[in-house]
Amino acid sequence: MKRNALLIAMIVLTALTMQAQPRRNGGGKWEGLARTPQMGWSSWNRFQGNISEDIIKGIADAMVETGLRDAGYVYINIDDCWHGQRDADGFIQVDPAKFPSGMKALADYMHSKNLKLGIYSDAGTRTCAGMPGSLGHEYQDALQYARWEVDYLKYDWCNANNINPRGAYALMRDALRASGRPIFFSMCEWGTNQPWEWAADVGHSWRTTGDITSRFAGTPRQRGWGQTVLSIIDQNGPLRKYAGPNHWNDPDMLEVGNGMSENEDRAHFTMWCMMAAPLILGNDLRNMSKATCDILMNRDMIAIDQDTLGVQGLRYKDLEGLQCWFKPLAGGDWAFTILNSTEQDITFNLNWQDFNLTDDEVSHLSTNFDTIVYRVYNLWSHKQEGKTSKQNKVERKLVVKGHDVIAYRLTKAN
């Protein structure tokens, strides 16, 4: 009993000491961890609860061997179902059957490969899969993650009845800060309580929608209460003014390589990059097709997502099944994407003068196609396709395939 009392007193004292220190940006989250949206991999979309130490190590090996790590994907995140029970002092343990070497050994393995380890918990009494949640153990869990040298926490919102989300997430934020280890804080509250309006000083990213499924449009495949790619775009797109460096809208993990068509995978990946979304892979990296690998490692497209200006793209115009998106970039460049939300190929007559716009909501930058000439670079063919024109004329006829995109980077021609 004395040991438990002493341990609790030490935790509380550490927390109070850390909380008394000056905080930046009005909050206590770790700064400098999310200048651009996070990139990595998570176990849930492909494996759900069927995870193990060998699977996670195999994914880490594949991350390095395929070149994904060098393309920017550095987090290996273990989602729900890694948990064992709490010990006599209340500290959470790993499932010894799934992770016999322990979480610290797994973190060491990741760090030896210049990767980072992510973990999962829940603000409620139980996780979504029924494992022990963090309610009432926030400081203990954060301290345990720090001992294990974890780099990332995804914090879910199941079994959180009668809990205030602002208080619950702020509490875990403070616990992570008090642990003494910089840990990325990914809030997974599904957008139920509009976290974009209050969480900029709490988390590094926050979910804006329900769970994604590997279906581009129509009725989602049965997997809980999942949503399609297009429905998530519709929900996340209007929230652009809330996103920026160190606080990102998160429309959920990627489903590229999990059963959609190549066109749909390419469109899905492109739109996440246009929306400055976290790029968290959800497929089995050990068994990827060349097409999947080419999509996930398109560095031209990744550069749009990771652009240092940090502005989420603007859905500027809808044209009978086509969505026209612009994203201002650092240095005066723009990304321009045409998304075909239908299953039919659509021919589009491109006239740059139809897209003279000013981003009044966020960046206050203008395209100025009537006064500026841009070089046009195709982000998927990786070829230059001429220049824009100051004249009011049809530049070219584009065929946008069903559930696909055409995406360009526009750079001033001078």
List the catalytic residue out of 80, 156, 250, 252.
156
Q: Cα separation of 118 and 42, whole Å?
A: 8
Q: Cα separation of 31 and 175, whole Å?
A: 15
Does the fold of domain 314-412 match that of domain 2-305?
no
pLDDT digits (tens, 9 = 90+) for 358-398: 999 999 999 999 999 999 999 999 999 999 999 999 989 99
Specify the pLDDT at position 13.
37
Structure confidence at residue 226 as a pLDDT band (50, 70, 90): confident
Specify the pLDDT at position 300.
98
* Token pair in block for residue 68: 């994904």
Structure confidence at residue 315 as a pLDDT band (50, 70, 90): very high
Domain residue ranges in the chain: 2-305, 314-412
Q: Which letter, b or e, does each residue of 294-327 get, where b requires 16 or more Cβ atoms within 10 Å of its Cβ?
A: ebbbbebbbbbbbbebbbbbbbeeeeeebbbbbb
314-412 CATH:
2.60.40.1180
- DSSP one-letter string for 177-237: HHTTS--EEEE--TTTT-GGGT-TTT-SEEE-SS-B-S-SSSSPPSSTT-B-HHHHHHHHG
CB under 8 Å, gap of 24 or more: what pairs does 224-233 form? 229/255, 229/260, 229/264, 229/267, 229/268, 229/271, 230/341, 233/271, 233/275, 233/339
Q: Which helix (H) or strand (E) holds 116?
A: strand 116-122
Are 220 and 239 in contact, with CB atoms under 8 Å apart?
Answer: no
Single-letter amino acid code for the residue at 13? L
Mean pLDDT of the chain: 93
141 is annotated as an active-site residue: no
List the catalytic residue out of 79, 122, 211, 252.
211
305 is annotated as an active-site residue: no
Structure confidence at residue 220 as a pLDDT band (50, 70, 90): low
pLDDT digits (tens, 9 = 90+) for 111-147: 999 999 999 999 999 999 999 999 999 999 999 999 9
Are 353 and 370 in contact, with CB atoms under 8 Å apart?
Answer: yes
Beta strands 374-378 and 405-412 are antiparallel
pLDDT digits (tens, 9 = 90+) for 157-192: 999 999 999 999 999 999 999 999 999 999 999 999
Overall average pLDDT of the 47-51 stretch: 97
Structure confidence at residue 225 as a pLDDT band (50, 70, 90): low
26 pLDDT above the threshold of 90 = no
> Measured in whole angstroms, how far is the alpha carbon of residue 155 from the centre of its chain?
13
14 pLDDT above the threshold of 60 = no
Overall average pLDDT of the 331-342 stretch: 98
Specify the pLDDT at position 7.
46
* Token pair in block for residue 384: 């230059």
Residue with tokens 């993990």: 253
pLDDT digits (tens, 9 = 90+) for 339-365: 999 999 999 999 999 999 999 999 999
Residue with tokens 């069927």: 50
Specify the pLDDT at position 259.
96
Q: Cα separation of 105 and 95, whole Å?
A: 14
Question: pTM (2 decimals)?
Answer: 0.93
2-305 CATH:
3.20.20.70
